[in-house]
Amino acid sequence: MDFETRAIHVGQAPDPLTGAVTVPIYATSTFRQTAVGQHQGYEYSRTGNPTRHALETCLASLEGAAHGFAFASGMAAAATVTELLAPGDRVLAVSDVYGGTHRLFTQVLQPRGHPIDTIGCEQVAGELADRLTGVRLLWLESPTNPLLAVVDIAHAARAAHAAGAMVVVDNTFATPYLQRPLELGADVVLHSTTKYLGGHSDVVGGFLATSDPQRAERIGFLQNALGAVAGPFDAWLVLRGLKTLAVRMRQHCANAREVVGLLQRHPAVARVLYPGLADHPGHQIAARQMLDFGAMASFLAHSEAAALRIAQRTRVFTLAESLGGVESLIEHPARMTHASTASSSHPVPPTLLRLSVGLEASSDLVADLEQALADEAPGRTGG
């Protein structure tokens, strides 16, 4: 079955008891046993819950994975997968990662004795093999947040496996509709389902998928042992989001193309960062490993003051953190999502604005940015 069909049907057979075509929200903490140890597959909802199981089955299928695990947040998924490390194991991560991932690495894992190294996305092609000595975990994001750099996942996975490292790819920006890292050689895929997979800015959740049976067994154990699971209502919201993922992503990408076109020709914009642009350094790789280029786009204003003014002038784009919902968002990474990178060797530029292009009419999105940018062309203000 094709992607769109699996998103609607895998793990979601009509309820055998009532015929309900939608998976019920199994709001129960525990399940009856008819004799000690005899049950219908579920004992306790931290360990397993039918609504969560439906989500885990469906999203694993969309990633082309044999096993999936739903968590209470993307960071819960990230914290759980890093528990696969043994004491002292070394981590190498691309330098431009989600701010919360950076915080997990530098303020939780590093103090606990895991050396954390970073590599610039531009260095992955040439230098990765040399940087992998002693590394147990290679952490990739592509496209990256918020700079939209692209990493060649197949190349990175080959180099990591040759060095004996496991590869985790945070696929939140791309979604399995646009990119499937396991097919490119990654070992584990991570999602913040809060973003495109939920898709409606109404739930926080996370996900891990893998096809390796040993890793799956250990992740399943850790999911239950650490307990940061998705609740049944949250799982249901994400499962509902999956059904429309393909159509939403197609329109997200189409709207992003219109918005990027406006940004490119606007004098108030110093530079546009979007992998769909032919002059983007990762364009060829993105064209090869992604179905389309996504709906996250960042741009540099001419000054931080101009960036801050633009961010508070939009009316259709809402000034807010997060991304991937039906509504368009604008944010200033240096002061919002990525404030924790300020003291790092790779702080995000203060003139940077990040857009999550939503599903409103693209004409309204373009007009909104036009009015927000209008007074910011060089020479038109003193700022």
Q: How far is CA 145 from the centre of its chain?
A: 9
Cβ distance to ligand PLP smaller for residue 147 or 269: 147
Alpha carbon distance 260, 268 (integer Å): 13
* Sheet (strand 271-273) strand order: 271-273, 296-300, 352-356, 329-331, 318-319
Judged by CB under 6 A, the stretch of 22-30, 112-120, 166-174, 302-310 that binds ligand PLP is: 166-174
- In the bound state with ligand PLP, the residue whose beta carbon lies nearer, of 6 and 325, is 325
**112 part of the active site:** no
User: In the complex, what is the shortest distance from the CB of residue 28 to ligand PLP, in angstroms, rounded to a whole number?
Assistant: 25
Least separation in angstroms between residue 148's CB and ligand PLP is: 11
Give the orientation angle of helix 213-226 with respect to helix 74-81, to 10 degrees. 120
- Cβ 20 to ligand PLP shortest distance, Å: 28
Tell me how far apart the alpha carbons of residues 182 and 154 are, in angstroms, rounded to a whole number: 9
Question: Which residues in 65-84 contact ligand PLP (CB under 6 A)?
Answer: 73-75
**Nearest to ligand PLP of 45, 192 (CB atom):** 192
| CB-nearer residue toward ligand PLP: 231 or 262 | 231
- By CB under 6 A, which span of 148-156, 192-200, 257-265, 364-372 interacts with ligand PLP? 192-200
Which one of the listed residues 98, 177, 196, 274 is annotated catalytic? 98
Closest CB to ligand PLP among residues 142, 314: 142
Sheet order of strands, 116-119 included? 67-71, 206-210, 188-192, 166-170, 135-141, 90-94, 116-119
Look up 46 and say whether it is catalytic.
yes
> Count of residues binding ligand PLP (CB under 6 A)?
16
Determine whether 90 is an active site residue: no
Tell me if 145 contacts ligand PLP by CB under 6 A. Answer: yes
Give least dist CB 170 to ligand PLP, A.
5
Count how many residues are written for the chain: 383
Catalytic residue (one of 89, 152, 170, 187): 170
Tell me the sheet residues that pair with 207.
Answer: 70, 191
Residue 231 has φ and ψ, to the nearest 5°, of -75, 165
What is the SS3 assignment for 269?
Answer: coil
Name the segment binding ligand PLP (CB under 6 A); options: 43-51, 97-105, 235-243, 308-316: 97-105
195, 248, 313, 354: which is the annotated catalytic residue? 195
Q: Are 231 and 72 in contact, with CB atoms under 8 Å apart?
A: yes
Looking only at residues 171 through 190 of this chain, which bind ligand PLP when binding is defined by CB under 6 A? 172-173
Please say if 96 is a catalytic residue. no
Long-range contacts of 304-309 (CB under 8 A, 24+ apart): 304/334, 304/350, 304/351, 305/383, 306/268, 306/351, 306/376, 306/381, 306/383, 307/332, 307/350, 307/351, 307/352, 307/353, 308/332, 308/335, 309/375, 309/376, 309/383
Which of 69, 98, 139, 207: binder of ligand PLP (CB under 6 A)?
A: 98
Exactly one of 170, 187, 234, 331 binds ligand PLP (CB under 6 A); which one?
Answer: 170
E strand residue ranges, 216-305: 271-273, 296-300
User: Applying CB under 6 A, which of residues 143, 206, 241, 276 lies at the interface with ligand PLP?
Assistant: 206
SS3 (DSSP) at 311:
helix
Could you list the active site residues? Answer: 46, 98, 170, 195
Residues that bind ligand PLP (CB under 6 A): 73-75, 98, 100-101, 141, 145, 170, 172-173, 192, 194-195, 204, 206
